[in-house]
Structure formats: C-alpha cells, structure tokens
Chains A and B, each alone.
Chain A
Amino acid sequence: MRVDVREKEWAVLMRAGNAGDAGSYQQLLRQLSPVLRALARRGLVRAGMADADAEDVVQETLLAIHLKRQTWDADAPIGPWLFAIARHKLIDALRRRGRRIDLPIDDFAEILSSGENEPSSVAADVNRHLGCLPAGQRSVVQVIAVDGASIDEAASRLSLSKGAVRVALHRGLAALAAKFRETEA
C-alpha cells in the first residue's frame, strides 16, 4: 500500500510540474533520486559490477525522465512509466560497459529503500560531458546547476536575454543526454 501512495504522490507532483509548477517538479525529482539510486546499485551489483557508477546511471536516468516527460500519459499510473525509463537507461549503461544482462521483471514495488543518500564522491557523473558542450550552453548549465542561479539571475550574470538562457539550458541538457549515449564508458 505504501508504494501505491508514493506513486500517487509522484503522479500529483508530475501533473503539477507539467502545469508549470517548477517547485513540485523539483520535489518529484528529489524524491525519485534515492529510489533510482537503489535501483541502479542493485542492477550494477547483479551484473557483477562496482556500484560506484550508480550515480552516473542515476543522472542519466533523471535526464531521460526530464527530456521524455511528455511521453507520460497523465491518466496512466506513473510507476510503470518511471520504471520502464529507469530499466532502459540501466540496460543501456550496462551494455556500454560491455555487459549484457537480462534484468528480471521488477518494478518499483521492490525498491523501498529510500534512505540511499548521494555518495560524497563518485567515479563518474554528468561533469565529464560538460566539457563537450559549446561554451555558451556550458556556462548557462553551470551557472544554473552549480551556482544555483535562476533563469533571471543567469540572464543578467551572462548578459543574455532570458529567452536565450532558456534555449541554451534546454539544448545543453539535451546535448548532455546525447553525450551519455555516445560515450563508451
């Protein structure tokens, strides 16, 4: 039952996010991270790999959830949608690392451990792809992500229009997702 309640809450947050409430959307992604982390760790361990790469998989999965958020049908349960994306990205990551595994049919119901904290140091993460972005996109992504600037603050700090910041941020994030796909880890 607990899982059911949790997924309903995610669906509420996602609907609010899709309606333009960035705060709810951020809250959703923060709630998802520990669950995705537990899922990634378990998948890596099952494939006989170190779970130090888990954070890399978590970040790639969050990017995919974000960039494909329009493929969730707001009337459908959100759990199967999230799990399908997480599984797809995990299989992808394992394949790039030279492992082919068939993940057993699982779902979020088995992933209850929400106490998984972000590790303080990780083997690989989205940073290694930042350098590949065009300078304009890179600085916008960095100012907003690392320095915590809003769109408005980023615009004034980088002397750009708000529209230009939005476009650079969106393109930058899409490019990061593409870099994950291209690299052989």
Chain B
Amino acid sequence: MKTGDLIRALAADSEIRLRPPGQALVLALIPGVAIALGLFVAVFGLRPQIVALLGEPRLLFKLCLAAVLIGLSGALVLRLVRPGADVRSAALLLAVAPALLAAACLAEIFAVPSNEWGQRLLGANALFCLKSIPFLSAAPLVAIVLALRNGAPEHPALAGAGAGLFAGAIGAAFYAAHCPDDSPLFVAAWYTLAIAIVTVIGAVAGARLLRW
C-alpha cells in the first residue's frame, strides 16, 4: 500500500474524536475510586471521631500529605503519556512530598523524647498498613493503567510506575482516614514502603500494557 493511500484512510478515520488523556483519566478514576471507597467502607471504615480529631496536627499532616502526593503524581502521570512533554519539572516538583515528610519527621523527633521514637515508628499496625494500602490501591491502579493505554508514553515502565505512585497515593489517602498511627515516623516508614510496592507493581504492569 502506498503511503499516500494509507494517509487517505487515516484522514477518513479522523472524524472519530478521541479522548484527551486528562479526560480519559478522570473518567476511569470515577469507577476506580468508587470501588476503593466501597471496599474502604465495607472493610475498614472511618476512624472513630475523625472529625473531632481533625485539629490534631499529625493526622491533618498525614491527610494533607496524601492529597499533595495525589495532585503531584497525577500531574506527572499526564506528562508521562504525552510525547515530548516536559516530564522533568513535574518529576522535580514531586520531591515536595518527601521533603515535607522529612521536615515533619524532624519536627516529631524534636517534639517527642527519644525513648518513644521506636514505638512511634513501629506503631500498632505496620503490617496491616503494608497490606491495606496496596489493597485499597488496586482498583484505582487498574483504572489508571487502562486509561493510560489511550496515551503514548515514551517509557512504558516509567509511566506504569507513575500510575502505581498515583494509585498508591489514593490508597494511602483512604487508609490514612482509618489508621490510628499518625506519627510522621510511622508514615515515613510504612506508607512509603506500601506506596513503593504499588509503584513497582505499576511499573511491571506498565512495561507490558502501556506499549504502543
């Protein structure tokens, strides 16, 4: 087939409007997050008196950090599936999240006597946290990866990792509303590890599913 012939077929097909990546992502996240919310309500449930506790700075920080990570990783993912987009600035901006967490840990170390550090770090639910965040992230991860198949990532594994980070942040936000371990030390150790697990799963899935 001549290239000119192929072009004629492509032009004939151009009437079909395709969804831009941002729109596809939002549309996929609606059912993805709804399923995660359903599982959260059925299996975990909100922490008792969470509204009264919202003034507690550690809890507030934990929730805000998850929100920041959702925003930054979501923006990064959208850059990763647009060929030629500026990924670097979005990736650098992502460093805000660990920087905030490191500052909070430092504050915690000053605020709490050293003999309590170990107990704050280990908390009461470390293993439960490691299992729960990936569990709550699963439906959002599937939704995000499916949406990104519309995109064109120059590096499929990296885009998958971005999807895992984004989904992990969503799962972490849900879990944060349940878990009574509020110390930044606990968050730094266990939330980070749990989100890293989801990120690796996303990278593996992306390498297979996001090629184009």
**Distance in Å from the Cβ of A125 to the closest Cβ of chain B?**
6
Residue pair B13, A83 in contact (C-beta under 8 Å): no
A166 to B9, CA, bound (A): 11
Residue pair A126, B14 in contact (C-beta under 8 Å): no
Hey, which chain A residues are within 8 Å of B52, CB to CB? none
Among A64, A73, A145, the residue within 8 A (CB) of B85 is A73
Residue pair A88, B83 in contact (C-beta under 8 Å): yes
Residue pair B1, A145 in contact (C-beta under 8 Å): yes
Among B3, B11, B21, the residue within 8 A (CB) of A22 is B11
Contact flags (1/0) for A38-77 with B, using CB distance below 8 Å?
A: 0000000000000000010011001110111111110010
Given A22-B15, A26-B11: A126 and B152 interface contact (C-beta under 8 Å): no
A126 to B9, CA, bound (A): 12
Among B5, B7, B12, B20, the residue within 8 A (CB) of A71 is B20
A55 to B4, CA, bound (A): 11
Contact flags (1/0) for B16-27 with A, using CB distance below 8 Å?
A: 101111000000
Hey, which chain B residues are within 8 Å of A5, CB to CB? none
Q: Residue A130 at the B interface, CB < 8 A?
A: yes
Q: Residue B82 at the A interface, CB < 8 A?
A: yes
CB < 8 Å A-B pair total: 124
**Distance in Å from the Cβ of B147 to the closest Cβ of chain A?**
12
Given A69-B18, A70-B20: A76 and B8 interface contact (C-beta under 8 Å): no
Q: Residue B42 at the A interface, CB < 8 A?
A: no
Hey, which chain B residues are within 8 Å of A30, CB to CB? 4, 7
Residue pair B10, A63 in contact (C-beta under 8 Å): yes
Given A70-B20, A71-B21, A83-B84: A170 and B13 interface contact (C-beta under 8 Å): yes
Hey, which chain A residues are within 8 Å of B83, CB to CB? 68, 71, 80-81, 84-85, 88
**Distance in Å from the Cβ of B36 to the closest Cβ of chain A?**
27
Q: Residue A11 at the B interface, CB < 8 A?
A: no
A177 to B2, CA, bound (A): 16
A144 to B1, CA, bound (A): 12
**Total chain B interface residues with beta-carbon distance under 8 A:** 31
Hey, which chain B residues are within 8 Å of A23, CB to CB? 11
A153 to B127, CA, bound (A): 64
Among B10, B150, B151, the residue within 8 A (CB) of A173 is B10
Hey, which chain A residues are within 8 Å of B16, CB to CB? 166, 170
Secondary structure of the A contact surface, majority rule: helix
Q: Residue B104 at the A interface, CB < 8 A?
A: no
Residue pair B7, A173 in contact (C-beta under 8 Å): no
Listed residue (B5, B10, B21) with the most chain A CB atoms within 10 angstroms of its CB: B10
A130 to B9, CA, bound (A): 13
Q: Residue A181 at the B interface, CB < 8 A?
A: yes
Hey, which chain A residues are within 8 Å of B18, CB to CB? 69-70
Given A62-B3, A70-B21, A118-B2: A29 and B11 interface contact (C-beta under 8 Å): yes
Which residues of B approach A to under 8 Å, CB–CB? 1-16, 18-21, 81-85, 150-152, 154, 211-212
A-B contact pairs, 28 of them (CB 8 A): A22-B15, A23-B11, A26-B10, A29-B10, A33-B3, A33-B4, A55-B3, A59-B1, A59-B6, A67-B212, A68-B83, A71-B21, A71-B82, A81-B83, A84-B83, A118-B2, A126-B6, A130-B1, A144-B8, A144-B9, A144-B12, A145-B5, A146-B5, A148-B8, A173-B9, A173-B10, A173-B13, A181-B212
Which residues of A approach B to under 8 Å, CB–CB? 17, 20, 22-23, 25-26, 29-30, 33, 55, 58-59, 62-64, 66-73, 76, 79-85, 88, 118, 125-127, 130, 141, 144-146, 148, 150-151, 166, 169-170, 173, 177, 181
Smallest CB-CB A-B distances: 5 pairs: A80-B84, A84-B83, A26-B11, A70-B18, A84-B84
